[in-house]
Structure 1
Amino acid sequence: MNAKNTIISEQDILPKLNTQLFINGEFVPALKGGTIDVLNPTNGTLITQIAAAEAEDVDRAVVAALKAFEVWSEYPAAERGRLLLKLADLIEEHAEELAQIESLDTGHPIKDSRRLDVPRTAACFRYFGGMADKIEGTIVPVEKGFLNYVTREPIGVVGQIVPWNFPLMFTSWKLGPALAAGNVVVMKPSEITPLSTLKIAELIKKAGFPDGVVNIVTGYGQTAGQRLAEHPDIGKISFTGSTQTGRNIVNSSAGNLKRVQLELGGKGANIVFEDADIDAAVNGAAWAIFHNQGQACIAGSRLILNEKIADEFLEKFIKLAASIRLGNPLDPDTEMGPLTSDLHRDKVLSYAQIAKEQGGKILLGGKAPDDAALQNGYYVLPTIVEAKPSDRVAQEEVFGPFVTVLRFKDDAEALEIANGTEYGLGSGLWTNNLQRAHSFAKKIKAGMCWINSYKRVNPGSPFGGVGKSGYGREMGFEAIHDYTEVKSVWVNVDAQIPPHFHRGE
């Protein structure tokens, strides 16, 4: 039997794990020797312990980064790109190892880690590796006798905070553009899911990046994360996570007015019109909310159905959702794994009770599975709830396999419901009417809109939101621009400038 068709043993993965801080090109313990338990979401057992960085660990990482910036910023752009391309190659060489670590740590089904998370990570580093020597400036036509050129220069040391839901992929989304632009990085992965980011640090060293260009400090948000946000020598902070934490980071960053990029929560509107291909929309809607157990900021968590097709759609959708196979994420047959932590599982389950209290109807799920083999893990059944647009389950981000169904009569009501939250990240439309599709794509308040699909991402396409979903963009040229400072240079070529003041005689 092919090894990829067998259930992987946790014991086979453990020897591959790095657990210390990565500072100045070396794996080192935290100065105070503190550790954090990393738990297996499948059964709640201890996987390993990682170093717990404190403020002084962040400080020494910043010192290493500042020194490395003197070297890295002078590297030829093509050489920076070559190292990023080398890193992409190494990720592909270690693809199975990375997929196993990611699935063990996060609960992602191994088939998704293999076919999505690892390839997307390599593709992102490869994209920005190719972009490194294509960061161009401009010439501005100004008055006669002057040459005015505009350049893009690296910011310096940037702090990056990676979330727990897609740690491997988000590590590349943040490191890729920052390094391509000539910056150096101090990164804090989530203390819940740090293991794949630490593995990337090992590959960064193997690729030959200068020491200190990338530093990884594992620790809690209130200590290591807080110090990153407030550190006076960090010129930018890039954060992906909750809206409330994003607000805290903005406040902490005010000390040196550092640049802030935020990718926060979402409450994605996924609209199905009466002329949609129902079967395609059912499959797409299931992917939009149940992939990665719904733990995605862009998840299609509000399913907005035209009342003419709602009953037919729901009959098929409920049947599909009920058939999703929950299980051990290291089993290749598993389609949905556990949520990443017990606290988050409890939060998601609490929304089923909130829905009932506000008059919502649970059409499927709303509880943990009864399967005895899953009792010790952080599992939640695929959950479908019908509610009103004003209900909490239609307004607040649940961040789990939990979709709220809303019905509409006409296009005007559909748009009103879609734009009826404070979030604005991902959105989807299912229709065969091209005019309607383009009209809605323009009017819907979201940073991204998919038509007759959902949840597509690509390194060249900007990713980010509006409103409470944050500001700034990951990926694409927009990401490079967010990691550079603009400098305008004026050169007097042959302009004759008369004196402005006349000396008295």
Structure 2
Amino acid sequence: MNTQISFGGKAVSEKNDAIDVQNINTQLFIDGKFIAAKNGGTIDVLNPANGELITKIAAAEAEDVDLAVKAAQKAFPVWAETPAAERGRLLLKLADLIEENLEELAQLESLDTGHPIRDSRRLDVPRTAACFRYFGGMADKIEGSVIPVEQGFLNYVLREPIGVVGQIVPWNFPLMFTSWKLGPALAAGNVVVMKPSEITPLSTLKIAELIKQAGFPDGVVNIVPGYGQTAGQRLADHPDIGKISFTGSTQTGRNIVNASSGNLKRVQLELGGKGANIVFEDADIDAAVNGAAWAIFHNQGQACIAGSRLVLHEKIADQFLQKFIALAESIRLGNPLDADTEMGPLTSQAHRDKVLSYAKIAVEQGGKILTGGVAPDDESLKNGFYVLPTVVEAKATDRVAQEEVFGPFVTVLRFKDDAEALEIANSTEYGLGSGLWTNNLQRAHRFAKKIKAGMCWINSYKRVNPGSPFGGVGKSGYGREMGFEAIHDYTEVKSVWVNVDAQIPPHFQRGES
């Protein structure tokens, strides 16, 4: 059985010089250059641990996006014709540079997002490098196919790049999602205009520096941080963008689909989730407790795949909750740049307030807060956007069991038998991540097949790998990040028919002239 990372063990202490925020690049990256926004606008980037200003970044608007698209269009013919092995070499070089700059990237990510530095060092940065390395290796392995058709004809299928693609990166894992989107798009021969979140743009802008250093041609990657209603809207409705890839909320995903209809661009959406994490009566309770904590409290619960519905068999529910609540209450909150911190702040004050509002909603609907539901009573954390790990028991139809809270907030639901467990698991409109804990192999495979979700983990949770497709169904979106499915989503299929030796009689018999 695969137990998850323990929250109880002491974090490895690492001493490193703090990054100098004055050296952070804050401009738009267009056509291989860092430039100011045309209208001179800026956006404040705040430290979620104390609410203080980190820096100001350039705010892209529609005209800046247009400039970036023109640069990408200019770069596309050369990049598409670049030998695939060379495209792969540049992606591999970028992966090497990310590893060489691990500490700076980790600190940037933690400073900007609130991720605990131990997670940024051992998870976020290594996973980012691994993703670029995977797609670097895949670049020259994109294959077509030969189709058996009628006698005398050769029919083969090509996979060709789409062209200019727009990509919108969310604020919860900006560094990692930058690689998930750029990797397959570039490997397939596309060029990119990317908008990182205006809340957490810093690590993506650092990747732009490394892209330049790696030697990618100018215009192949353009990065335009800005607000969704301006820069994001222009990416979605731009007539010269062939595909839009978006990770974020379901409502924004709907808006992007509507905006994309002008030129019928391809759309790939990775949206919200309300993952069911089911613990059966025969599960290894200690492993399930540890795994369930990882599923919901990692990155402060700010993950679309979070196991935010903890579905417990009634026979083991009380025993499980006693251990789970004790673990939740032991998690160390603190400065994300402290190596001993296990859970940092939420990424913005507005989001912290939204998460706390769900504690009130739970009580109003008859739910019971078993622990948490408030900001910590700690003087050292009072200016940050912190929420205590929260466990709420409720009914499957309550709002806290149906709506995505996106915080360190888990809803406990109880079940009597397998049929009820499956009914609860499939009782939301989301379908992204799911998990189950059991030693019954037949049950495990049966539930993996019947749960309506794009991913299912058995005796584990939240495992990801560049080769494994990531995405959802229902209101969790469509299309896939990572794996061969991601490469396929960034290519156009062309069917080519060759008459080798077929004798085709005339279809129309013409009369004598």
Change (3 A) 1:487 1:29: same
**Correspondence for 1:303:** 310
CA distance in 1, matches of 2:141, 2:56: 41
Contact 2:12 2:340 in 1 (8 A): no
Q: Distance in 1 between matches of 2:392 and 2:338?
A: 29
Q: Deviations over 1:444-482 (max 9, x none)?
A: 000000000000000000000000000000000000000
Q: C-alpha separation between the residues in 2 aligned to 1:3 and 1:316? A: 24
Distance in structure 2 (CA, Å) of the matches to 1:150 and 1:185: 25
Matched, 1:101 2:113: no
What does residue 385 of structure 1 align with?
A: 392
The answer to whether the Cα contact below 8 Å between 1:428 and 1:450 also exists between their aligned partners in 2 is: yes
Deviation at 1:103, TM superposition (A): 0.3
Matched residue type, 1:83: L
Match of 1:404 among 403, 411, 436: 411
Q: What pairs up with 1:319-330 in 2 under 5 angstroms?
A: 319-330=326-337
Other-structure match for 2:24: 17
1:7·1:330 contact (CA, 8 Å) conserved in 2?
Answer: no
**Structure 2 counterpart of 1:363, one-letter code:** L
Is the 1:147–1:492 Cα contact (8 Å) retained in structure 2?
yes
Which residue is 2:226 aligned to? Answer: 219
Any idea what the Cα deviations from partners look like across 1:31-58, whole Å, max 9, x if unmatched?
0000000000000010000001010000
Residue 273 of structure 2 is matched in structure 1 by 266
Structure 2, unaligned stretches of length 5 or more?
Answer: 1-10
Q: Which residue, out of 53, 56, 66, partners 1:59?
A: 66
CA contact (8 A) 1:13 1:100 kept: no
472-481 vs 136-145, which moves further = 136-145
1:151 partner amino acid: L
Are the aligned partners of 2:170 and 2:177 in contact in 1 as well (CA < 8 Å)? Answer: yes
* C-alpha distance in 2 between matches for 1:52 and 1:306: 50
Deviations 1:64-98 (A, max 9, x none): 00000011000000000000000000000000110
Question: What corresponds to 1:117 in structure 2?
Answer: 124
| CA distance in structure 2 between the partners assigned to 1:125 and 1:220 by the alignment | 27
- Deviation string 1:135-165 (CA, Å, 9 cap, x unpaired) is 0010111111111110100000000000000
Measure, in 2, the Cα distance between the counterparts of 1:15 and 1:357: 47
Work out the CA distance in 2 between the residues paired with 1:209 and 1:7.
30
Distance across 2 between alignment mates of 1:30 and 1:236: 24
Counterpart of 2:14 in structure 1: which amino acid? N
CA–CA separation in structure 1 for the residues paired with 2:441 and 2:507 = 61
Task: Report the CA distance between 1:424 and its aligned residue.
Answer: 0.2
Q: Which residue of structure 1 aligns with residue 7 of structure 2?
A: none
CA distance in 2, matches of 1:17, 1:144: 63
Matched, 1:149 2:156: yes
Cα distance change, pair 97–4 in 1 and its aligned pair in 2 (3 A): farther
Alignment partner, residue 5 of structure 1: 14
1:459 aligned to which of 436, 458, 466: 466
CA distance in 2 between counterparts of 1:277 and 1:36 reads 48
1:173 equivalent to 2:168? Answer no
SS at match of 1:291: helix
- Mapped to 1, the partners of 2:25 and 2:484 lie a distance apart of 33
1:83 maps onto 2:90 in alignment: yes
Tell me how far apart the structure 2 counterparts of residues 285 and 211 of structure 1 sit (CA, whole Å).
45
Q: Distance in 2 between matches of 1:426 and 1:224?
A: 30
Query: 2: CA distance between counterparts of 1:309 and 1:54?
Result: 54
Percent identity over the alignment is 87
Aligned to 1:230: 237
Partner residue, 2:361: 354
Q: How does 1:408-447 map to 2 (within 5 A)?
A: 408-447=415-454
CA contact (8 A) 1:7 1:331 kept: no
Deviation, 1:7, is 7.8
CA contact 1:8–1:331 (8 Å) conserved in 2: no
1:267–1:396 Cα contact (<8 Å) kept: yes
- 1:335 aligns with 342
Q: Which residue number corresponds to residue 46 of structure 1?
A: 53
SS of 1:97 mapped into structure 2: helix
Could you tell me how far apart the structure 2 residues matched to 1:7 and 1:243 are? 39
Please, which of 474, 487, 491 is the counterpart of residue 480 of structure 1?
487
Residue 164 of structure 1 pairs with residue 171 of structure 2: yes
Question: Which residue of the other structure, out of 130, 137, 140, is the alignment partner of 2:137?
Answer: 130
Query: What's 2:44 paired with?
Result: 37
Question: What TM-score do you get using the length of structure 2 for normalisation?
Answer: 0.97
Describe the SS at the equivalent of 1:73.
helix
CA distance in 1, matches of 2:149, 2:244: 34
Among residues 337, 349, 368, which one is paired with 2:375 in the alignment? 368
| 2:455 partner SS | coil
**Once the 2 structures are TM-superposed, how far is the Cα of residue 258 of structure 1 from its aligned partner?**
0.2
Give the root-mean-square deviation of aligned CA atoms.
Answer: 1.1
Contact 1:235 1:258 in 2 (8 A): yes
Q: Counterpart amino acid of 1:228?
A: L
1:4 deviates by 5.6
Residue type of the alignment partner of 1:465: G
Q: Secondary structure at the match of 1:50?
A: strand
Distance in structure 1 (CA, Å) of the matches to 2:350 and 2:318: 34
> What letter matches 2:86 in structure 1?
E
Q: How many residues align?
A: 502
**Following the alignment from structure 1 to structure 2, what is the Cα–Cα distance between the partners of residues 100 and 277?**
36
Call closer, same or farther: CA 1:181–1:7 in 2, change over 3 Å. closer
Distance in 2 separating the partners of 1:70 and 1:25: 16
SS at match of 1:499: coil
Rounded to whole Å, the distance in 1 between the matches of 2:16 and 2:442 is: 48
| Residues in 2 aligned to 1:4 and 1:223: alpha-carbon distance in whole angstroms | 42
TM-score, normalised relative to structure 1:
0.99
**What letter corresponds to residue 5 of structure 1 in structure 2?**
E
Matched, 1:250 2:260: no
Tell me the equivalent position of 2:8. Answer: none
Equivalent pair of 2:111/2:337 in contact (CA under 8 Å)? yes
Structure 2 residue 336 is the aligned partner of structure 1 residue 316: no
Q: CA deviation at 1:183?
A: 0.2
Instruction: Summarize deviations over 1:377-397 as a string: whole Å, max 9, x none.
Output: 000000000000000000000
